[in-house]
Amino acid sequence: MQAGKVSDTPLEFIVEYLSKAKKIADGNASVPEELRSYLQKALEISAGLDDYLEQMTNRESEPLSELYSKTVSHDWEKAHREGKTIFHLPKECITGHVEGQVLKMLAHLSKARRILEIGMFTGYGALSMAEALPEDGRLIACEVEPYLKEFAQPIFDKSPHGKKIIVKTGSAMDSIKELAEAGEQFDMVFIDADKCNYVNYYKFILDNNLLRLDGIICVDNTLFKGRVFLQDVTDQNALALREFNGIVSSDPRVEQVLIPLRDGLTVIRRLPPSSMTLNQTKVACDEVFRGVKGKLILDRLRLDGKVAYVTGGGQGIGRAFAHALGEAGAKVAIVDMDPGKAEAVTVELRLKGIQSMALTADVSEPDQVQRMVDSIVAKWGAVHIACNNAGINMNSASEETSLHEWDQTFNVNLRGTFLCCQAAGRIMLKQGYGKIINTASMASLIVPHPQKQLAYNTSKAGVVKLTQTLGTEWIDRGVRVNCISPGIVDTPLIHSESLQPLVQRWLSDIPAGRLAHVTDLQAAVVYLASDASDYMTGHNLVIEGGQSLW
């Protein structure tokens, strides 16, 4: 601890008292050497802890570092004497490096988009949390001293995250009442002002729904120099915090933990209720409100723990499907005729932390399809999601379509899809669970023109009928089969000069006014792969910018 610094946290008091005890022991010959050695050891541990936490916590950003230096070097007594601040603000008010990083981490982990801070001081905590917010995130900081807004703003302006902070000057209680009236709600709240009012802020926030379900409240100084649990305490702030801790720990609406960081940081989570009344209205705490098995809709789209494969996964739509399934949490096998392409997508997925393997298979060959499925089961123990996407398209006028072209197209597009459905389906039927998603085409519905592609159109219509048949045959054994029919997808090939007249023709047929991007199809595959679509089977999900309707 620096010389002259006044103890403020339980640890600083321990260090202060141990130092004093050690000094007395050192000056007294009758103190046993063993006691002196124990005092020395206790002092070394306690005095080294805060510095070590500082060193082992990643460095703060430049603007935060500047804010810290500007705050601790400012003459706060002078500011008060000159009438710039109502309170005597001690520089120790500042949240500081380690606690700021904890708040930033919590904002990150809770994926907060809107944060409320009660008591901003010079904005260290506010800027730390703002650094974790997404671009369109907002942090509203309530601060009674207008001087502090002027103090902090120039540094907020230097940070790319400063624009996310809105400072509301005035009494925090008035500000949060206004926010509640405006129907605002927050994902995270930091209470750090006006200790005697902590209970009121807390109650107001929960009673008025200012914190979303599952949202968190962080509360500073909840150990209050250890006085919250020491006997014979008369300090009003300590007694207010003791009462606050008691109220929170017996409130069934929340769960909480008190972390002995600096002067104590309590983290409180608002629990989803089993029954509740808000403003005299009884809330229907059913599956719609609480989510199916407690999972809200975005969580129901997650694919954590699921095993998927994507044929034709080395490029285009298949690659986009593989990324989407992996981002949603599945392990993904990339299957392609071209081993290099399969491997490249596997590398991309691994970079994103997605477990992935590359497999080579020609989907029209039963042995190769069986080997593909066996390899996945051997490595990951199951197949939950089968994306049968491999396909080819060749153009020719129908009177000239060769049997070779017809057979080749049908071999990959229809026989391949059947073989994959059958091999994966056998595993899924045994598991009692599976999601098969076949790639069909808008060509299953309309006859795209002016290009001529009889074999393709017919094979894709076959994929839809195959999907409908399997979708009804297997659903009672837990296997859902659906297909996606994309419209014309924008690929590098299409940008060649010779194809431009054709592209213009297509565009005039598409209400959306553009070709499909592979990313337009990604949410659909995640939906069909997830439990959220369990009631859907044999469906042809058409994504074509409206083209089949004109």
Ligand X SMILES: C[S@@+](CC[C@H](N)C(=O)[O-])C[C@H]1O[C@@H](n2cnc3c(N)ncnc32)[C@H](O)[C@@H]1O
Residues making contact with ligand X (CB under 6 A): 87, 89, 93-95, 119-121, 124-125, 142-145, 148, 171-172, 192-194
CB of 47 to ligand X, least distance (A): 24
Phi, psi of 448 (to 5 degrees): -60, 145
In the structure encoding, which two tokens stand for residue 231, read together?
């006997």
Closest distance between ligand X and the C-beta of residue 93, in Å? 4
Distance between CA atoms of residues 187 and 193, nearest Å:
19
Q: Which is nearer to ligand X, 40 or 237 (CB)?
A: 237
Q: Could you tell me the smallest distance in angstroms from the CB atom of residue 107 to ligand X?
A: 13
CA torsion through residues 13, 16, 20, 21, sign: positive
DSSP state of 428: H
Which helix (H) or strand (E) segment is 191 a member of?
A: strand 186-191
Please, which residue, 20 or 203, has the CB nearer to ligand X? 203
Smallest separation (angstroms) from ligand X to the CB of 148:
6
For the CA atoms of 206, 212, 216, 218, what is the dihedral angle to 10 degrees? Answer: -50
For residue 522, which of 316, 305, 344 has the smallest C-alpha distance?
316
CB distance 320 to 343 below 8 Å: no
Which residues are marked as active site?
456
3-state secondary structure 155-190: HHHHCCCHHHEEEEECCHHHHHHHHHHCCCCEEEEE
Estimate to the nearest angstrom the gap between the alpha carbon of 62 and the chain centroid: 26
Cβ proximity of 456 and 473 under 8 Å:
no
* CB nearer to ligand X: pick between 101 and 485: 101
Q: How far is the CB of 116 from ligand X (least distance, A)?
A: 12
> Smallest gap, in angstroms, from Cβ of residue 192 to ligand X?
4
Of 123 and 312, CB closest to ligand X = 123
Nearest to 120 by CA among 89, 98, 97, 84: 89
Residue nearest to ligand X (CB): 125
